[in-house]
Amino acid sequence: MVRFENVGLRYGLGPEILRDLSFQIPAHSFQFLTGPSGAGKTSLLRLLFLSLRPTRGLVNLFGQDISLLGKDEIADLRKRIGIVLQDFRLLDHMTTYENVALPFRVMGRDESSYRREVIDLLKWVGLGERMDALPPILSGGEKQRAAIARAVIARPQLLLADEPTGNVDPTLGRRLLRLFIELNKSGTAVIIATHDITLMDQYDARRMVLHQGRLHIYE
Amino acid sequence: MDLGTDRPQVPAKARNASPIVPRGSIAGRALVAVVAIMTFLASITTGAVLLISASASEWQSEVASEITIQVKPLGGRDLARDTQAVTDAIRGQPGIVEVQPYSKEQSAQLLEPWLGTGLSLDDLPVPRIIVARVAPGSPLDIVGLRSRVTQVAPNASVDDHRAWVERMRSMTSATVLAGIGILALVIMATIISVSFATRGAMAANRPIVEVLHFVGAGDRYIANRFFRHFLRLGLQGGIIGGGAAMLMFGFSESIASWFSGTPVGDQFAALLGTFSLRASGYLALAGQAVVIAGITAWASRRTLFATLNDID
């Protein structure tokens, strides 16, 4: 599903922050991406999400060499990827329901075909009472859950999550991990970037460790 | 994904009610005001050009459809007989439909504003005027007419107002050209203002654009969402500006009709004609407002794609 070969990344003329990354993410797989702060986890997630281009090497996503793709084709590929960012990126003028339903809206689907699904997921992540609330009045944990719900609602083939349990209590953290596991069981490849050792210890999965720009994989 | 079996009732309020691009966050009022002012200025310019060109063509057709013959008093010649001879000579000329010699009394009336009443023309060397109406579109042989007139009365001269018509035509053309120049400047200023407003709006909405990219929206989808918004703003501005200009022309027309018959009104009408836009003029103003709204939308779309290329 994802193949990196000798990928390197630098910002401008600065030092290379990711070096010689070569790995594969198989379909239906589950992995944690970890490493110290500043190791390049977020940059690697952005490479996987195609919002950054590598300065060298080959990135192949869903069987396509991304260096050959135009903007429209990249937008089409992104519809197959869900992403949860540390800063949530919810739209403040839209309710929680509307934020979570946004991927379907962008796909041009009729609201009646997904409304039930969005409401069920919001209830499942504990936002059943906050569906009509605007993000500025949500707590950090609620925003995080809304961002996760938006990333998984369209059942992407690849889910990228950057510190998805950073703002929630351990109980809710376990519940969210269960959501990711359920999603993985239904066919989505999942990559969770986290510092949280406790979270990683709760599920036996492949660990990708970034250290000094290089990647070490523990199967 | 199994989310459990507990499925409570769907709440009534959870619906997609918000637009993807928030209306309030774009400097909408400022853009509507800019487009309205630009449309108003463009409409005033177009209306003024239409009025001037209609009045000028009215004057031109009036002036070009008549010629004036002046018979000057000359020692040893009978002015009344010369006037009659010239009148007869012109009547026989093809293309002339009506000949009206001004009698002594009528000539005195013409001079009354300057010389007062009770004037005796016998004491003054005042020339006699003959006005001849030319059939519209008929090719009048002015050279032949001139030679016939001077044959019967060497003290007579013919004025076909050609120099006056030419001067008026060049003045009208200059006014129209100036109007087109002002219109071009207004349209350029509109495009520049709209481009800046679009850039500002896109900068303010950059987080929305980024989120839309995250959920897989392409540039075309995003641009269309913003484009609709700008088209709506452009139409609002166009309707306000164009409507205000039309109201102003309508109001001016009413004022002109209130004053008609008064000395001021007559003077005004003599100078500027009827000061009324025809239905086609109002239609042109409405069309212009739509064109400016379209230009607003086009300029914003162009800027949108340029800005979207920078945001990824």
B216 to A155: CB separation less than 8 angstroms, yes or no: no
Q: Which of residues 135-194 of A touch B (CB under 8 A)?
A: 150, 152, 155, 179, 182-183, 185-186
Cα distance from A113 to chain B (closest Cα, Å)? 12
A107 to B216: CB separation less than 8 angstroms, yes or no: yes
Taking the C-alpha atoms of residue B187 and residue B179, their distance in angstroms, rounded to an integer, is 12
- Residue among B13, B210, B212 minimizing CB distance to A132: B13
- Least confidently predicted of A29-33, B142-146, B192-196, B261-265: B261-265
Torsion of CA B90, B92, B94, B96, to 10 degrees: 50
Taking the C-alpha atoms of residue B48 and residue B56, their distance in angstroms, rounded to an integer, is 12
Residue B307 predicted with pLDDT over 80? no
Report the residue of chain B nearest A50, measured CA to CA.
B312
Say what the pLDDT of residue B93 is: 80
Cβ contact A103:B216 at 8 Å: yes
Q: Are strands A189-193 and A16-25 parallel, antiparallel or unpaired?
A: unpaired
- Residue among A72, A78, A119 minimizing CB distance to B14: A119
Taking the C-alpha atoms of residue B26 and residue B31, their distance in angstroms, rounded to an integer, is 9
Sheet holding B66-71, edge to edge: B96-101, B128-134, B66-71, B156-159
Tell me what the mean pLDDT of segment B223-229 comes to. Answer: 82
Question: What residues form DSSP beta bridges with A59?
Answer: A4
Say what the pLDDT of residue A32 is: 95
Taking the C-alpha atoms of residue B70 and residue A98, their distance in angstroms, rounded to an integer, is 87
Residue-by-residue DSSP string for B184-235? HHHHHHHHHHHHHHHHHHHHHTHHHHHHHHHTT--HHHHHHHHHHHHHHHHH
Say what the pLDDT of residue A206 is: 93
Please give the single-letter amino acid code of residue B217: A
Nearest to B203 by CA among B27, B35, B33: B27
Contacts of B191 (CB under 8 A, 6+ apart): B295, B299
A91 to B13: CB separation less than 8 angstroms, yes or no: no
* Residue B11 pLDDT level (bands cut at 50, 70, 90): low
pTM above 0.90, yes or no: no
* Residue B255 pLDDT level (bands cut at 50, 70, 90): confident
* Residue A116 pLDDT level (bands cut at 50, 70, 90): very high
* Residue A168 pLDDT level (bands cut at 50, 70, 90): confident
Residue-by-residue DSSP string for B117-157? SS--GGGS-PPEEEEEEEPTT----HHHHHHHHHHH-TTEE
List pLDDT tens digits, range B164-186.
Answer: 777 877 888 888 888 889 888 88
- The mean pLDDT value of chain A amounts to 91
* Residue B110 pLDDT level (bands cut at 50, 70, 90): confident
Contacts of B157 (CB under 8 A, 6+ apart): B69, B70, B72, B149
Report the residue of chain B nearest A116, measured CA to CA.
B10
Residues of A within 8 A of B219 (CB-CB) are 71-72, 75
Say what the pLDDT of residue B4 is: 45
Say what the pLDDT of residue B2 is: 46
B210 to A89: CB separation less than 8 angstroms, yes or no: yes
Element spanning A205, H or E: none
Residues of A within 8 A of B22 (CB-CB) are 93
Q: Give whichever of A58-67, B160-169, B302-311 has the largest mean pLDDT.
A: A58-67
Report the residue of chain A nearest B23, measured CA to CA.
A93
A78 to B214: CB separation less than 8 angstroms, yes or no: yes
Structural domains of chain A in order of their starting residue, each with its CATH number? 2-218 (3.40.50.300)
Residue A30 predicted with pLDDT over 70? yes
Q: Where are the beta strands (DSSP E) in A54-114?
A: 56-61, 64-65, 81-84
Say what the pLDDT of residue B7 is: 43
Residue B9 predicted with pLDDT over 50? no
Nearest to B56 by CA among B158, B183, B179, B140: B179
Cα distance from B15 to chain A (closest Cα, Å)? 7
- Least confidently predicted of A114-118, A192-196, B165-169, B247-251: B165-169
Residue B72's SS3 state is coil
Say what the pLDDT of residue A179 is: 84
Residue A81 predicted with pLDDT over 80? yes
B8 to A128: CB separation less than 8 angstroms, yes or no: yes
Q: What is the DSSP letter of B276?
A: -
- The mean pLDDT value of chain B amounts to 79
List pLDDT tens digits, range A169-210.
Answer: 888 888 888 889 988 998 899 999 998 888 899 999 999 999
Residue A213's SS3 state is coil
Taking the C-alpha atoms of residue A100 and residue A81, their distance in angstroms, rounded to an integer, is 15
CB atoms within 10 A of CB A209: 16
B1 to A183: CB separation less than 8 angstroms, yes or no: yes
Residue A21 predicted with pLDDT over 90? yes
Q: Is B3 on the interface with A (CB under 8 A)?
A: yes
List pLDDT tens digits, range B258-296.
Answer: 777 777 777 766 666 666 778 888 898 888 888 888 887
Tokens 């303010």 map to which residue? B204
Tokens at residue A171, please? 């109980």
Say what the pLDDT of residue B293 is: 81
Residues of A within 8 A of B15 (CB-CB) are 97, 111, 115
Taking the C-alpha atoms of residue B190 and residue B289, their distance in angstroms, rounded to an integer, is 12
- Residue among B6, B210, B215 minimizing CB distance to A106: B215
Q: Which of A42, A48, A78, A106 to mutate to test the interface with B (most CBs of B within 10 A)?
A: A106
Tokens at residue A165, please? 């349990």
Q: Is B271 on the interface with A (CB under 8 A)?
A: no
Residues of B within 8 A of A78 (CB-CB) are 213-216
Taking the C-alpha atoms of residue B78 and residue B17, their distance in angstroms, rounded to an integer, is 95
Cβ burial of A208 (10 Å; 0-12, 13-18, 19+) is buried
Cα distance from B16 to chain A (closest Cα, Å)? 6
Residue A14's SS3 state is coil
Please give the single-letter amino acid code of residue A188: T
B1 to A120: CB separation less than 8 angstroms, yes or no: no
A132 to B214: CB separation less than 8 angstroms, yes or no: no
List pLDDT tens digits, range B112-143.
Answer: 777 777 767 677 778 888 988 888 777 777 78
Residue A91's SS3 state is coil
Q: Is B312 on the interface with A (CB under 8 A)?
A: yes
Residue A55's SS3 state is coil
Percent of chain B with pLDDT over 90: 3
Q: Is B5 on the interface with A (CB under 8 A)?
A: no
Tokens at residue B244, please? 């205000």
List pLDDT tens digits, range B63-88.
Answer: 667 888 888 888 778 888 888 888 88
Say what the pLDDT of residue A59 is: 94
Taking the C-alpha atoms of residue A175 and residue A173, their distance in angstroms, rounded to an integer, is 5
User: For residues A97 and B163, which has the higher predicted lDDT (pLDDT)?
Assistant: A97
- Residue among B18, B20, B218 minimizing CB distance to A75: B218
Residues of B within 8 A of A72 (CB-CB) are 218-220
Contacts of A161 (CB under 8 A, 6+ apart): A83, A84, A148, A151, A180, A190, A191, A192, A193
Residue B25 predicted with pLDDT over 80? no
